[in-house]
Structure 1
Amino acid sequence: MKHTIIVCVLFCELIGFASSLTGDFSWYNSLVKPSFAPPNYVFLPIWLTLYALMGWSLARFINSKKQHKMVGYSFFGIQLFLNALWSNLFFGLRSTFFGLADISALLAFIVLTIWKFWMVDKKAALLLVPYMLWVCVALLLNFYVWRLN
């Protein structure tokens, strides 16, 4: 279990790091943002924590003795892909609209992942709840940035 956790956390952190390499983050600073937009310095520690929780959740799911986990793996992979894609759309292409479309689908797949993980390992599902809540905040922020700009 210990090795699985390390590998899964590093995998998720690596995906997060790779997705952050694209785009012009100074562009984000030039956008009009809603009053509830968090300061830029909070994003890195929050995302580092969330990617670690995703990895821990995945490790618990992998190590579960229960059968029929393929759909859960699929949902997890899709949400991780959509997560990485969002940075490319929002920052890389500077598209607040396509970012909003992506993050909406991302939230749906996080919910589906939590649902499937719950059937296999409730703690694995609960580890994804902070991620889901943060993506709700990010979706609202993305929506208002799209509307204001």
Structure 2
Amino acid sequence: MSTSGSTRSGLDLPSRDELLRIVGFVVLVNLVGGAAAVIGGPGSEWFLALEKPWFYPPGWAFGVVWTLLFSLLGVALYRVWRADESGERRVALGAFALQMVFNVAWTPAFFGAQNPGLGLAVIAVLWVLVVATIWAFRRVDRPAAALLVPYLLWVSFAAVLNYDIWRLN
């Protein structure tokens, strides 16, 4: 067996060190992404009093979905980070960092400021930045870009949800 962890089927598995680095990226992205949750969330009196659209998911779904998405983002970020040094790689890493800033900023805008309109503005910028990040990742590592597609779909859904909450209230 090679040091890369190849199996008899020819599938290359990550080495122990590489697996630890992947887990580190997944944990880091989950910590950064979840950090804003300490500001407040759907359990606040303010939010509970808001009218929600008919398609508002059950509360537990958000934690599950975000953990899965942040985990995919961590793997994608690792794949780009490990790529050969290049201008495209630097752009991709910068795009990822910028979209994460807006991802984290949404919670203080929406829940902290108790302002669905401000949240909508932040998530609109986030959506554009996620598309740009997918494009930048694709130039470095296509599988990494593909790992961001579920995130784009969820941000799209969240934007529609945010809009409807803003509209209803």
State the TM-score, normalizing by the size of structure 2: 0.84
Please, which runs of 5 or more residues in structure 2 have no aligned partner?
Answer: 1-17
State the number of aligned residues: 149
Residue 108 (structure 2) pairs with residue 91 (structure 1): no
**Which one of the candidate residues 50, 59, 67 is aligned to 2:78?**
59
2:30 maps to what in 1? 13
1:98-140: CA deviations, max 9, x gaps?
1000000001000000001001100000000000000000000
**Partners of 2:29 and 2:145 in 1: CA distance:** 16
Residue identity in the other structure for 1:2: L
1:40 maps to what in 2? 59
Query: Would you say the 8 A contact 2:36–2:104 is kept in 1?
Result: yes
Moved over 4 A (4+): none
Query: Would you say the 8 A contact 2:102–2:122 is kept in 1?
Result: yes
Please, which runs of 5 or more residues in structure 1 have no aligned partner?
Answer: none
Structure with more contact order per residue of length (Cα contacts < 8 Å, sep ≥ 6): 1
Please identify, of 119-128 and 64-73, the stretch whose mean Cα deviation from structure 2 is larger: 64-73
* Superposition CA RMSD, Å: 1.1
State the TM-score, normalizing by the size of structure 1: 0.95
Residue 168 (structure 2) pairs with residue 133 (structure 1): no
**Partners of 2:136 and 2:30 in 1: CA distance:** 22
**Partners of 1:87 and 1:113 in 2: CA distance:** 20
Please identify, of 5-14 and 130-139, the stretch whose mean Cα deviation from structure 2 is larger: 5-14
Residue 132 (structure 2) pairs with residue 115 (structure 1): no
Structure index of larger Rg: 2
Measure how far apart 1:43 and its partner are: 0.5
Query: Would you say the 8 A contact 1:23–1:93 is kept in 2?
Result: no
**Partners of 1:143 and 1:10 in 2: CA distance:** 30
Task: Say which structure is richer in helix.
Answer: 1
